[in-house]
């Protein structure tokens, strides 16, 4: 799914559209070189005007508007509800635009290249808020939120080292291919295709058949679909309307330059990501943000052997890569096998896989002997340097939970026969909670010996600081203008407690009508 773009030409030919890592195509009889000014060529004023009118816009939002195709259905109440929410939270769109900036040139140009509505390039806002590390309770991952089975169907590898569902270019290509297939299945109806992307083609087809049996209309707006899907398409249409008519809605979208942000560089082999970042002159965090498909401290030894590198640093990186032998692209450690060691325990110790140790040492089975020396590839830097690796993201999540809850941390080692349900029941916590705490989904397989973190509920005494307190469970309906701090102040509780009691994410906004559960000392309420 990866393209290998060795160079990027930043000159736009009038009317041409470039993808995120493409060079300008040559026209018949024309060499693919930069255009040089010459005094022997005379351009009249009419030609200059025509060139100006057809030149590619400098802002990607303008480019997006030029290729929109959908009816935004602003007469639909569901669209208006979503539109009003986004208009009331302009800082949300500001954060989204900042997060999307490195990726959007590639995505929107890929949509244009395929001839599909550029509104589809905005879909990651709905799916993941343009967070390539997003992972849902339904096991969906990446900016386009592919579940494992659908990802595999569209060729997205999912291994210990690498998850193609998070890969920017691979997942975008897979998502657009999937959407085009759904569009064809539903006779060119993009709204039904979008609904099917969220709920599954089978569920949309069943809803259509139900309506046909009742002699009802079968367009998206007439179908009864899952609650999430009923809001899913309106969310995208509302976002598209904000982009299309941002000025009319009082929204200022920060310009995203219409130039490629990254290019793909063929590495030819596995490479340590911290070392790659240093070679490119960028931070390790940026290398992960451009290459979020890589789970560990290095690229996968089995490929893909390519990295997305900022265009401005690509030449520097390619030069450094050319002068670095493959055997020096990861650090190698000599390890002397001790009594009691196994390939599994050694792989865990060095954050690698049994398969990689076997391959590096030409071992065919699992048998090793005490005193034997193994060559093992290891990270060149401390674990904290790989801040966006899967393991470090999990560690950071635990630190965040610790700062925002009164719950007590404890651990459970998975035994044979354990399940999320049985463990959650034992510790009196929710199944989804338990999975989320461990950066997993309830449907993920539990490996015997895996150590799970559990944040136990505070006891009643933890809620009471004196015998005079009278604690009551109170239901509260969020009103317009409410915030977590206002509600906490009203009931004399902490924001951290509200978040914990209601399993809320502090970064998400409260919505009017949303119901909260509070544990309140009724002797102290305002």
- The reply to whether 359 and 422 lie within a common domain is no
- Residue 398 tokens read as 């635990």
Over residues 119-152, the pLDDT tens digits come to 999 999 999 999 999 988 888 999 999 999 999 9
CA 359/CA 353 separation, integer angstroms: 10
Q: Which long-range contacts (CB under 8 A, 24 or more apart) does 50-55 make?
A: 51/14, 54/14, 54/15, 55/12, 55/14, 55/15
- Residue 219 tokens read as 């367009």
Query: Looking at residue 488, what is its pLDDT?
Result: 79
Query: Looking at residue 247, what is its pLDDT?
Result: 92
CA 494/CA 506 separation, integer angstroms: 13
Using pLDDT thresholds of 50, 70 and 90, give the confidence band for residue 526. Answer: very low
Q: Is residue 487 part of a domain?
A: yes
- The reply to whether 145 and 130 lie within a common domain is yes
Residue 396 designated active-site: no
Give the H/E segment covering residue 277. helix 273-280
Task: Please say which residue of 310, 328, 346 terminates a domain.
Answer: 328
- The reply to whether 362 and 297 lie within a common domain is no
CA 463/CA 389 separation, integer angstroms: 36
Catalytic residue among 119, 127, 173, 241: 127
**By 3-state DSSP, what share of the chain in percent is helix, strand and coil, each rounded to 5?**
45, 10, 45
Over residues 105-124, the pLDDT tens digits come to 999 999 999 999 999 999 99
- Residue 306 tokens read as 């390519």
Mean pLDDT of 236-254: 95
- Is pLDDT of 40 > 70? no
Query: Looking at residue 148, what is its pLDDT?
Result: 93
- The reply to whether 84 and 182 lie within a common domain is yes
Query: Looking at residue 54, what is its pLDDT?
Result: 57
Residues 6 or more apart in contact with residue 71 via CB below 8 angstroms: none
Q: Is residue 196 part of a domain?
A: yes
- At residue 295's C-alpha, the angle toward residues 293 and 301, to 5°, is 90
- The reply to whether 299 and 436 lie within a common domain is no
- The reply to whether 466 and 452 lie within a common domain is no
CB 4 within 8 A of CB 306: yes
Q: Is residue 123 part of a domain?
A: yes
For residue 141, give the 3-state DSSP assignment: strand
C-alpha dist (Å) from residue 519 to 398, 403, 429, 460, 523? 24, 20, 17, 10, 12
CA 398/CA 403 separation, integer angstroms: 9
CA 420/CA 454 separation, integer angstroms: 11
Query: Looking at residue 470, what is its pLDDT?
Result: 58
Q: Is residue 210 part of a domain?
A: yes
Q: Which domain holds residue 421?
A: 399-457
- The reply to whether 315 and 338 lie within a common domain is no
Q: Is residue 470 part of a domain?
A: yes
- The reply to whether 193 and 70 lie within a common domain is yes
CA 252/CA 520 separation, integer angstroms: 41
| Residue whose C-alpha is closest to residue 310's, from 15, 21, 117, 1 | 21
Residues 6 or more apart in contact with residue 169 via CB below 8 angstroms: 1, 2, 3, 20, 21, 106, 264, 308
Using pLDDT thresholds of 50, 70 and 90, give the confidence band for residue 521. Answer: low
User: Residue 297, exposed/middle/buried by CB under 10 A (0-12, 13-18, 19+)?
Assistant: buried
- Is pLDDT of 43 > 50? no
- The reply to whether 83 and 220 lie within a common domain is yes
Query: Looking at residue 10, what is its pLDDT?
Result: 30
Over residues 414-453, the pLDDT tens digits come to 888 888 888 988 888 888 888 888 888 888 888 888 889 8
Task: Please say which residue of 437, 457, 477 terminates a domain.
Answer: 457
CA 262/CA 18 separation, integer angstroms: 12
CB 368 within 8 A of CB 343: yes
What CATH number is given to the structural domain containing 113? 1.10.530.10
Mean pLDDT of the chain: 84
- Is pLDDT of 36 > 70? no
| Residue whose C-alpha is closest to residue 272's, from 163, 103, 389, 397 | 389
User: Of 67-76, 195-204, 242-251, 451-460, which range is least confident?
Assistant: 451-460
Q: 76: number of CA atoms within 13 Å, CB side?
A: 18
The number of distinct structural domains making up the chain is 5
Task: Please say which residue of 304, 328, 352 terminates a domain.
Answer: 328
- Is pLDDT of 34 > 50? no
Mean pLDDT of 351-368: 86
- Is pLDDT of 515 > 70? yes
If one counts every other C-beta atom within 10 angstroms of the C-beta of residue 504, the result is 16
CA 449/CA 469 separation, integer angstroms: 43
CA 127/CA 235 separation, integer angstroms: 10
CB 416 within 8 A of CB 511: no
User: Residue 375, exposed/middle/buried by CB under 10 A (0-12, 13-18, 19+)?
Assistant: exposed
Instruction: Please report the sign of the dihedral spanned by the C-alpha atoms of residue 498, residue 499, residue 502, residue 506.
Output: positive
Over residues 194-244, the pLDDT tens digits come to 999 999 999 999 999 999 999 999 999 999 999 999 999 999 999 999 999
Q: Is residue 77 part of a domain?
A: yes
Q: Please tell me whether the peptide bond between 44 and the residue prior to it is cis, using omega within 30 degrees of 0.
A: no
Integer Rg of the chain from CA? 27
- Residue 363 tokens read as 């071992």
Q: Is residue 46 part of a domain?
A: no
Using pLDDT thresholds of 50, 70 and 90, give the confidence band for residue 458. Answer: low
Q: Is residue 167 part of a domain?
A: yes
Mean pLDDT of 182-187: 97
pTM of the model: 0.72
Mean pLDDT of 250-277: 95
- The reply to whether 282 and 215 lie within a common domain is no
- The reply to whether 145 and 168 lie within a common domain is yes
Q: Please tell me whether the peptide bond between 26 and the residue prior to it is cis, using omega within 30 degrees of 0.
A: no
| Residue whose C-alpha is closest to residue 276's, from 268, 267, 251 | 267
- The reply to whether 231 and 346 lie within a common domain is no
| Residue whose C-alpha is closest to residue 120's, from 254, 242, 253, 233 | 233
The residue among 497 and 87 whose pLDDT is bigger is 87
What CATH number is given to the structural domain containing 416? 3.10.350.10
- Residue 41 tokens read as 């060529």
Residues 6 or more apart in contact with residue 511 via CB below 8 angstroms: 85, 478
């Amino acid at each position: 799914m990866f393209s290998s773009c060795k160079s990027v030409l930043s000159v736009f030919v009038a009317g041409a559209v470039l993808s995120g890592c493409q060079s300008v195509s040559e026209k018949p009889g024309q060499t693919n070189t930069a255009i040089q000014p010459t005094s022997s060529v005379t351009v009249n004023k009419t030609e200059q005007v025509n060139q100006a009118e057809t030149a590619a816009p400098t802002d990607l939002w303008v480019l997006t508007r030029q290729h929109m195709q959908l009816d935004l259905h602003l007469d639909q109440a569901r669209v208006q509800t979503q539109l009003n929410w986004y208009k009331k939270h302009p800082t949300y769109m500001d954060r989204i635009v900042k997060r999307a900036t490195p990726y959007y040139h590639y995505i929107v140009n890929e949509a244009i290249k395929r001839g599909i509505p550029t509104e589809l390039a905005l879909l990651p806002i709905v799916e993941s808020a343009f967070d390539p590390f997003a992972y849902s309770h339904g096991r969906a991952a990446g900016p386009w939120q592919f579940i494992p089975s659908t990802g595999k169907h569209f060729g997205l590898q999912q291994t210990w080292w690498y998850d193609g569902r998070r890969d920017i270019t691979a997942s975008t290509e897979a998502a657009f291919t999937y959407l085009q297939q759904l569009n064809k299945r539903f006779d060119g109806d993009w709204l039904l295709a979008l609904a099917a992307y969220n709920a599954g083609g089978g569920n949309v087809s069943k809803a259509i058949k139900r309506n046909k049996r009742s002699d009802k209309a079968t367009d998206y707006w007439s179908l009864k679909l899952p609650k999430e899907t009923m809001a899913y398409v309106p969310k995208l249409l509302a976002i598209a309307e904000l982009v299309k008519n941002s000025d009319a809605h009082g929204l200022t979208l920060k310009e995203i330059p219409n130039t490629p942000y990254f290019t793909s560089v063929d590495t030819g082999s596995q490479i340590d990501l911290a070392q790659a970042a240093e070679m490119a002159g960028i931070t390790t965090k940026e290398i992960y943000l451009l290459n979020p498909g890589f789970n560990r401290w290095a690229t996968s030894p089995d490929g893909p052997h390519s990295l997305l590198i900022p265009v401005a640093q690509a030449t520097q990186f390619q030069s450094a890569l050319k002068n670095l032998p493959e055997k020096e692209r990861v650090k190698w450690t000599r390890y002397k096998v001790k009594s009691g060691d196994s390939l599994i325990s050694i792989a865990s110790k060095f954050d690698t896989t049994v398969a990689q140790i076997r391959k590096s040492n030409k071992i065919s089975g699992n048998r090793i002997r005490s005193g034997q020396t193994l060559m093992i590839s290891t990270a060149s830097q401390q674990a904290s340097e790989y801040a966006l690796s899967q393991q470090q993201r999990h560690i950071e999540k635990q630190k965040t939970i610790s700062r925002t809850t009164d719950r007590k941390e404890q651990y459970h080692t998975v035994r044979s026969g354990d399940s999320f349900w049985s463990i959650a029941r034992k510790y009196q916590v929710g199944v989804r909670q338990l999975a989320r705490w461990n950066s997993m989904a309830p449907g993920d397989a539990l490996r015997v010996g895996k150590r799970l973190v559990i944040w136990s509920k505070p006891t009643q005494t933890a809620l009471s600081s004196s015998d005079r307190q009278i604690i009551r469970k109170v239901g509260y309906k969020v009103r317009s203008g409410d915030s977590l701090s206002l509600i906490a102040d009203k009931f004399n509780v902490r924001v951290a407690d509200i978040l914990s009691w209601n399993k809320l994410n502090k970064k998400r906004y409260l919505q009017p009508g949303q119901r909260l559960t509070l544990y309140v000392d009724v002797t102290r309420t305002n």
